[in-house]
């Protein structure tokens, strides 16, 4: 089992120097870095096995197909789906959510129905429903978020008219975790189906779709050590089978005439065109890598860093933290420094080799609800170290000194 304190060596990019400083990468909620094992798996596929899948009879096509389908099995096991047919490879969580809005939403929603979201959704889990609501004259309702970044859940918001409850598992701005199981149970009692946006949770905690009883669950590979351009849509087989395809074209058909086509079985019905074979293989390598680390040791490591950041940042005069206190924060610390815009802070920290995110974090309604136009966000992952928090604190000190009114 890999030692959590010595895994930096597995991440080549961490050797890079930024402005002649050690790279301190604290933008993991945007995308994670990739271990050499993932890079090697992708290179190995292209160097030794590359072919188009499912159609070719030759050796490479068989190898590539087997590797792609093995990757699907790896993902199935990772989230404990009942069958591999319930794992659809997509580009990312955004594409999965758009697929659901287009395919499930257009087929299943009618005028007067309601969709329940939370006030802390990433734009990816808001805009597809906004558009659908306008097209189908469906009402959007929002579970309010309180000042601690928790949900103010009044169960009466979910009614008999509610057809869908779609929510983030972990907020990409605040790091707060939502009561997924409770929301899913409430939705099911009302006869609604559920979508879990697990983009920020899957990298940090074990997620079991069967114990959650999630109808759909989506995530991106690149936030959990995998390549960009590969993501996962999980759906219960019965729901996926009822749904029309999203994209149509190659790979997803049984029979085609000039005027008609019949769709392939799951999961291929939703995977039109040549898929991201290398991406799926890279994602499987990332899952294998995560599996080689004790997940509880990893969680403890990240939580310790978050706790350290929380303690040290809140001790700085002029720093305001947002979101939940203590261990309810999953990998993310959002904050502002009085008198310094988050962009200016990010620029000054970059000088020190420190990468943070600044702005509205693709959750503009939430940022505005908090009374802000922008916030700084430091987000941690397995390869971060206590020294990274110290660098962040020192960098903030430098920014405060630079911005001091003279």
Partner 1 sequence: MPSEQLYRQLILDRYHQPQYRGQLARPDAQAKETNALCGDWLSMQLTIESNVVTAAKWTGEGCAISLASADLVSEHITGRSLTEADAISEKDVLTWLGIEIKPARLQCALLSLACLRSSLLSGQTAENDVS
Strands in 189-287 per DSSP E: 193-197, 216-220, 231-235, 253-256, 261-263
Binders of partner 1 in range 298-327 (CB under 8 A): none
CB of 351 to partner 1, least distance (A): 4
For residue 313, give the nearest of 247, 239, 252, 390 by alpha carbon. Answer: 390
Residue 178 vs residues 117, 172, 181, 282, 348: alpha-carbon distances, Å: 12, 12, 9, 29, 33
Which entry of 362, 378, 389, 399 is annotated as an active-site residue? 362
Q: Which of 131, 136, 141, 360 binds partner 1 (CB under 8 A)?
A: 360
CB of 19 to partner 1, least distance (A): 8
d(CA 275, CA 232): 12
Q: Which of 33, 308, 358, 384 binds partner 1 (CB under 8 A)?
A: 358
Q: Which of 3, 154, 255, 405 binds partner 1 (CB under 8 A)?
A: 405
Coil, helix or strand for 101?
helix
Four-residue CA torsion sign, 210, 213, 214, 215: positive
Binders of partner 1 in range 365-404 (CB under 8 A): 367-368, 373-374, 402-403
Q: Which is nearer to partner 1, 284 or 340 (by Cβ)?
A: 340
d(CA 191, CA 378): 39
Q: Which is nearer to partner 1, 312 or 350 (by Cβ)?
A: 350
Instruction: Report whether 109 contacts 136 (CB < 8 A).
Output: yes
Count of residues of this chain found to bind partner 1 when the rule CB under 8 A is applied: 22
Instruction: Report whether 400 contacts 367 (CB < 8 A).
Output: no
Q: Which is nearer to partner 1, 218 or 392 (by Cβ)?
A: 392
Q: Which is nearer to partner 1, 159 or 394 (by Cβ)?
A: 394
277 burial (CB, 10 Å; 0-12 / 13-18 / 19+) is buried
Q: Which is nearer to partner 1, 288 or 344 (by Cβ)?
A: 344
Is 362 marked active-site? Answer: yes
Asked if 351 touches partner 1 (CB under 8 A), the answer is yes
CB of 187 to partner 1, least distance (A): 31
**Piece of the chain touching partner 1 by CB under 8 A; list 58-66, 137-145, 151-159, 340-348:** 340-348
Instruction: Report whether 80 contacts 104 (CB < 8 A).
Output: no
Q: Which of 228, 304, 364, 385 binds partner 1 (CB under 8 A)?
A: 364
Q: Which of 135, 274, 347, 394 binds partner 1 (CB under 8 A)?
A: 347
Supply 41's token pair: 């798996």
d(CA 394, CA 351): 12
Q: In the chain, how many H helices and how many E strands?
A: 13, 17
For residue 232, give the nearest of 393, 56, 86, 51 by alpha carbon. Answer: 86
**Piece of the chain touching partner 1 by CB under 8 A; list 72-80, 178-186, 211-219, 356-364:** 356-364
Binders of partner 1 in range 14-33 (CB under 8 A): 19
Q: Which is nearer to partner 1, 240 or 340 (by Cβ)?
A: 340
The H-or-E segment that residue 238 falls in is helix 237-242
Q: Which is nearer to partner 1, 307 or 359 (by Cβ)?
A: 359
Site string for partner 1, 111-150 (x = CB under 8 A): ----------------------------------------
Residues that bind partner 1 (CB under 8 A): 19, 340-344, 347-348, 350-351, 358-360, 364, 367-368, 373-374, 402-403, 405-406
List the catalytic residues: 362
């Amino acid at each position: 089992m890999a030692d959590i304190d010595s895994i930096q060596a597995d991440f080549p990019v961490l050797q890079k120097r930024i402005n002649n400083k050690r790279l301190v990468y604290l933008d993991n909620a945007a995308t994670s870095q990739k271990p050499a094992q993932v890079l090697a798996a992708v290179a190995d596929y292209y160097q030794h096995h590359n072919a188009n899948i499912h159609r070719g009879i030759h050796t490479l096509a068989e190898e590539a197909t087997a590797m792609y389908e093995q990757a699907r099995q790896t993902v199935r096991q990772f989230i404990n789906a009942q069958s591999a047919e319930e794992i659809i490879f997509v580009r990312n969580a955004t594409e999965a959510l758009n697929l659901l809005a287009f395919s499930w939403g257009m087929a299943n929603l009618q005028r007067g129905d309601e969709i329940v979201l939370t006030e802390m959704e990433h734009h990816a889990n808001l805009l597809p429903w906004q558009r659908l609501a306008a097209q189908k004259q469906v009402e959007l309702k929002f579970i309010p978020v309180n000042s601690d970044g928790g949900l103010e859940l009044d169960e009466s918001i979910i009614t008999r008219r509610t057809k869908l409850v779609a929510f983030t598992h972990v907020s990409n701005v605040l790091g707060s975790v939502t009561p997924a199981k409770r929301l899913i149970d409430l939705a099911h009692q009302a006869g609604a189906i559920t979508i879990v946006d697990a983009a920020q949770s899957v990298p940090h905690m074990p997620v079991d779709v069967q114990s959650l009883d999630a109808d759909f669950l989506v995530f991106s590979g690149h936030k959990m050590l995998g390549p960009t351009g590969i993501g996962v849509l999980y759906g219960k087989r019965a729901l996926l089978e009822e749904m029309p395809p999203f994209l149509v074209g190659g790979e997803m058909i049984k029979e085609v005439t000039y005027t008609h086509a019949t769709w392939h079985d799951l999961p291929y019905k939703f995977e039109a065109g040549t898929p991201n074979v290398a991406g799926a293989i890279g994602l499987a390598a990332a899952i294998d890598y995560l599996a080689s680390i004790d997940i509880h040791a990893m969680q403890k490591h990240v939580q310790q860093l978050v706790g350290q950041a929380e303690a040290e940042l809140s001790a700085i005069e002029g720093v305001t933290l947002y979101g939940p206190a203590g261990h309810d924060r999953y990998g993310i610390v959002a904050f502002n420094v009085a008198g310094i815009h988050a962009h200016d802070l990010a620029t000054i920290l970059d000088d020190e080799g420190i990468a943070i995110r600044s702005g509205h974090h693709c959750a503009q309604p939430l940022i505005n609800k908090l009374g802000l136009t922008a916030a700084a966000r430091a987000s941690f992952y397995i390869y971060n170290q206590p020294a990274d928090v110290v660098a962040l604190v020192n960098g903030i000190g430098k920014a405060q000194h630079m911005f001091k009114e003279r």
